[in-house]
């Protein structure tokens, strides 16, 4: 839990202080690493709003990625 909070704070600074492509790389890594990384939607929305993207491409992509990663994780289980 602590790791997740630290990651959230880290991502918050990344989104506002570093180029967009760095934020997207970290966003993807965190979506894959953490279980149900809902925070990704907030950060994706922040990126879309800062860039003034009207159709929220980053938000929609993040939502789709969250669903895909969740489904893949469901199917991956070890005996």
Partner 1 sequence: MNYPLQNSYRPKKYKNLNKLVFVVITVIVLSFALNIFMPKVLGGTFYFLGQPIWYLKNNFSSYFPNTALLIRSKSDLESENQKLKGEVSEYDALKANIAMLQQENDGLKEMLGRHDQQKNKNILANVLLKPSLTPYDTFIIDIGGVQEIEVNDKVLVSGNIAIGFISRVFTNTSEVTLYSSNGIETDVSIGSNNITLKAYGRGGGNLIARVPKESEIKIGDVVTFPGSSVVFSTVEFKESRPTDSFDILLFKNPVNENELKYVEVMKSAKAATR
Footprint on this chain of partner 1 (rule: CB under 8 A): 13, 16-21, 36, 38, 41, 45-46, 48-52, 54, 56, 59-60, 63, 66-67, 70-71, 73-74, 77, 79
Closer to partner 1 by Cβ: residue 32 or 41: 41
**CA–CA dist 59, 63 (Å, integer):** 6
Contact 7, 34 (CB under 8 A): yes
Closer to partner 1 by Cβ: residue 4 or 73: 73
Minimum gap (Å) between residue 7 Cβ and partner 1: 17
Residue 78: DSSP 8-state: -
**CA–CA dist 70, 32 (Å, integer):** 9
């Amino acid at each position: 839990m602590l790791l997740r909070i630290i990651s959230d704070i880290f991502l918050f600074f990344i989104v506002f202080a570093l180029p967009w492509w760095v934020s997207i790389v970290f966003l993807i890594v965190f979506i894959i690493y953490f279980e149900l990384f809902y925070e990704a939607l907030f950060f994706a929305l922040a990126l879309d709003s800062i860039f003034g993207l009207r159709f929220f491409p980053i938000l929609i992509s993040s939502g789709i990625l969250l669903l895909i990663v969740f489904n893949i994780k469901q199917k991956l289980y070890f005996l």
